Structure 1
């Protein structure tokens, strides 16, 4: 078969004799543009894998303080057949008093931090974090003190957790009417404070302005009656001998402060063991205290409700603010919680950042938190105060 040459011929004067038009030669400008785009893409790819001086906060695992330690840590992928491990132990275990079964959950919440001591985050991770509603990107130094090693950070977290366990236990038992005697030994003195040069490490506090101090709450209650800046007479045992010391107080966190660091030891009327696992920091105190209370009271406060929360706990029942509240909200939602107990002093960070399906209740004291879970269990949670 043959074809008519006129049919396949082109009107293009550059066409070859057989009618085929040759491909145009690339211009210098197009070559330069192509090379520039390629180089830019390569540079962008390299930048995305470079370490960045940031730390990223993300929702961390949650754990039911009424359940078994490590058996159902939501968000960590750690599950066991049947949901429970044969070797798992209660997160909160109580001996020396009758305990009661509780339905529902009281989940502590955590934050996972990427970057900082012992690890870097990549620029690509930072860009992803900036675009995520669940993550927070901050300069490393705003989260971790300079020159802090990973080991030091872990030690601080463990020490904070130990203090949180003690404070939560004292607050919970006191809330239930127990008296928890304490020996308040001075561990150190704040430089420049009224106690500096007056009080010594090793002094044991026995009285304040003539009032006997037998519990930690006694000391805090007496300081509530002192105007910051006034002098007080601190009775101590020093080297086994009583001694009266005049100390000028200062403004503390809502009350007069002595300017001393205490190393308290408690004589618990009930044995409470708390197993936090690998979790560090002070922010689980409120949820530990609630778990102790619910286990020691015959009422089923929760009636099957799933409640998560956070907040530090002082020995006198004050709920304190914490970091990473927004990430903890998402962690609670992912763990299936319907309610979240948030410190009132974190409310400004909560508003506008509550995940769908989660209802937030604000609290300032352990008494607030206890009343909240009782109302939630009774189906009256809609009337509780929120952060809005």
Structure 2
């Protein structure tokens, strides 16, 4: 081999090695892909009994895996895979804190599902509001060093409310820099701290489209429920709040005699608040694919009316329903994508087959 050829071969070999190293080297991000559509009857027991009816309600999930060069390249050719930076997935939290938050989200979703299902079924349930569970604290918050993820805020300036909306509204219209005192619980022990309000950025919230004041925490309600009929839920390793709607349907159908599913394979997603409203979630396109793989013929998708302001913040600049509908048309034509704003919308569809009228016109 000539000297020049040897040099070229050596250069090629170096690039090959570099390429191989890049393919297997971990990247600072995650790959999101379709997860599972798990039958909720295996997770939920009421009075010690599982649902044995032929119908099926599925909780859908998104699978997260650490990214490397090879999996990153896969996202360029596989429309059902996407890459997300670690900061966007974890929010700057450690994996331990992230998992703790996801677990609390799930427990909160289950508690809300119980409240809605039992009330709809006219069965007795008691809810005790503990306060606000802290999911994260922003870097700009004046409480960054004094409030921690996992704390439960019980009062602000001595005011205790029966839901997080009360705390939010109390702070929303205050000016930036107003001193407030916060009472909290940490591992069962009481604490108190003080700090200034900050101006929060605008969001897709129709109530505060131009932003509001707050203390810079992401929160959810910490509620304990007790029922006359024993409910046992074991979600396994599934975390997050997005299973709220499907848990509610599973519980309600079991409580009322399994009359809704009617032998159908039903999937869906969406958060559930105590008043029965369904909230948006992430990765809905991947959840539609998971539902398809599980053989579902119905998929419930959270619905909000699209506006130009809202679409700025939406995944792929489409609302949950729009993205689910478009994914279904292209990749899962045998699934009916059903828009729901409330738990009652889902019940109405399962009872009558009729969809509540919505509009996709951007306002």
Tell me the TM-score range normalised by the shorter chain. 0.5 to 0.7
Instruction: Give the structure 2 partner of residue 50 of structure 1.
Output: 25
**2:112 is equivalent to residue 167 of structure 1:** yes
Which whole-Å CA distance do the structure 2 matches of 1:166 and 1:385 have between them? 29
- Structure 2 equivalent of residue 131 of structure 1: 77
Aligned to 1:62: 37
For the pair 1:109 / 2:84, whether they are aligned, the reply is: no
8 Å contact from structure 1 (residues 312, 322) kept in 2: yes
**What are the within-5 Å matches in structure 2 for residues 185-200 of structure 1?**
185-186=130-131, 198-199=157-158
Distance 1:324 1:29, change over 3 A: same
Is 1:154–2:99 an aligned residue pair?
Answer: yes
SS of the counterpart of 2:157?
Answer: coil
Asked whether 1:270 is paired with 2:222, we answer no
What's the offset of the Cα at 1:343? 1.0
Q: Tell me the distance in 1 between the aligned counterparts of 2:220 and 2:269.
A: 25
Q: Which residue, out of 110, 122, 132, partners 2:68?
A: 122
| Equivalent residue in structure 1 for 2:244, among 285, 292, 295 | 285
The alpha-carbon distance between structure 1 residues 272 and 188, as it changes in their structure 2 partners (threshold 3 A), is: closer
Contact 1:168 1:289 in 2 (8 A): yes
Whole-Å Cα distance in 1 between the matches of residues 76 and 158 of structure 2?
Answer: 49
- Shift in Å, 1:113: 0.5
RMSD: 4.0
Taking a change above 3 Å as real, the CA distance of residues 366 and 44 of structure 1, as seen in their structure-2 partners, is same
Residue 92 of structure 1 is matched in structure 2 by 44
Q: Determine if the alignment matches structure 1 residue 302 to structure 2 residue 261.
A: yes
Matches within 5 A, 1:1-388: 32-65=7-40, 67-68=41-42, 91-95=43-47, 102-115=53-66, 121-146=67-92, 148-178=93-123, 180-186=125-131, 198-199=157-158, 229=173, 263-298=222-257, 300-345=259-304, 346-354=320-328, 355-356=331-332, 357-375=334-352, 380=353
Cα gap change, 1:35 to 1:294, in 2 (>3 Å): same
Name the stretch that deviates more: 309-318 or 49-58.
49-58
Query: Which blocks of at least 5 consecutive residues in structure 1 are unaligned?
Result: 1-25, 69-90, 116-120, 206-212, 231-249
Distance in 1, matches of 2:275 and 2:158, equals 24
Alignment deviations for residues 212-263 of structure 1 (CA, whole Å, 9 cap, x no partner):
x8xx7xx97x99x99x759xxxxxxxxxxxxxxxxxxx99966699999753
Aligned-partner SS, 1:169: helix
Q: The residue matched to 2:327 in structure 1 has which SS? A: coil
CA drift at 1:290: 0.1
Q: Cα deviation per residue 1:271-290 (whole Å; 9 max; x = unaligned)?
A: 32212111111111111100
Q: How many residues align?
A: 294
Are the aligned partners of 1:101 and 1:300 in contact in 2 as well (CA < 8 Å)? no
1:300 to partner: Cα distance: 2.4
350 and 295 in structure 1: CA distance in 2 versus 1, 3 angstrom threshold: same
Supply the distance in 2 between the matched residues of 1:188 and 1:169 (Cα, whole angstroms).
19
The 3-state SS of whatever aligns with 2:326 is coil
